[in-house]
Amino acid sequence: MKVAGIDVHKKVLMAVVVDASRPEEKPARRRFATMPSELHRLLTWLQEQEVEEAVMESTAQYWRSVWLELEPHMRLQLAQAFSNRAPRGRKHDFKDAERLVRRLIADELILSFVPSGEQRIWCSMTRMKLQLTRDRVRLQNQIECLLEEMRIKLSIVVSNLLGASGLRILHALANGETDPQKLAQLGGERLQCTEEQLVDALTGRAQPVHREMLALQLQRLQLIDQQMERLNRMIAAAMKPQQDAVIRLAEVPGLGVDSAQQIIAEVGAQASTFASAAELTPWVGTCPGKEESAEQNHSSRSAKGNKYLRRVLNQAAHAAVAKKGSHFQAVFRRLLPRLGYQSAIWAVAHRLSRLVWKILHDGVRFIERGAEVAPREKRNVPRCWREHFASSAMR
């Protein structure tokens, strides 16, 4: 079997073909550009060499176009760059490509998980939505900074600056209204402040340039909201065949439809890439790490893992432990005295990641047991305590 190693850069790529059955032979080498016509030449050359598998390395996103060109024709692997490092002072593009093949055959490479084409589209949409969410938060901070320059303390008396009442007041400010009494009348009845407090907060000195800048920022906010709404429709349409999996995940405390869609976009609708929950949690980065030397573990710091999924599960863990009567709240309260707040949250996130694999892989639904103790933990309770609990329950 012939294996190709490809070292991908922005403008060029170096390809090496090695016969796995005769590794002592000199490998075939070829340099290509990364333009579409050159990528087609690369595919033709690899097919002439009868290559069945290719492994590539790229420290940026330049591997994507190469992957899409070769994916329908051969088995592909993407290696993490640090696992193919050369000895200091001996780096060479063709040597790097050849080393890729040698280490792949020897099973010494750390390979990245590359999802299927459909799942890659899901990831692109959900990650774009995350970026828009961050842009919206950043824009809110900029609007608040501009209001400080206008000596307007609206964010103190309004809990949500970009809520319905806040937006009505901001649009009026941008349109030239400066009377605090008239601005205060735009506030809704649900505001947790008196009219006098609102008038006092809106008494400032807005310059014409401030109002123009505020109008520009509100236009950007409107554009971001429109794009997020459009992305929501696109994601819902793309994941419509996986609607059952989304609903089953959304039933878990701390998760919702939006977070369920993000999880499925990252791990797949059945999580079939991971044979067990124990394989998923290290990839996510929620399980304790191990740095062992002389039979002593010097660090249990978690690996970085998938930063998008770590963020979702961390937020879900905070929401799950805040739900009254939930199983995760009971787990969190039991672990909090021993582990501390942050470690207890990560322990809940670890359980959530295992639960996600179980729901997606086995197609089951979540059943809330509340504070009920798991059967395995019941066995660890001393017998005298079990008898005491039983007698208390009979009373």
The model's pTM? 0.83
- Band of residue 193 on the pLDDT scale cut at 50, 70, 90: confident
In this predicted structure, what is the pLDDT of residue 306? 86
Dist. CA 114–CA 67, nearest whole Å: 10
pLDDT single digits (tens) 333-376 = 999 999 899 989 999 999 999 999 999 999 999 988 776 655 55
pLDDT single digits (tens) 258-311 = 999 999 999 998 988 899 998 899 888 887 766 766 667 666 677 778 889 999
Percent of the chain whose predicted confidence (pLDDT) is above 70: 90
In this predicted structure, what is the pLDDT of residue 390? 46
In this predicted structure, what is the pLDDT of residue 295? 66
In this predicted structure, what is the pLDDT of residue 372? 62
- Band of residue 385 on the pLDDT scale cut at 50, 70, 90: very low
Dist. CA 34–CA 32, nearest whole Å: 7
Q: What is the number of other CB atoms lying within 10 angstroms of the CB of residue 184? A: 22
Spatial CA neighbour of 308 closest among 279, 328, 289, 283: 283
Between the alpha carbon of residue 186 and those of residues 140, 146, 194, 205, 260, the distances in Å are 20, 20, 13, 19, 37
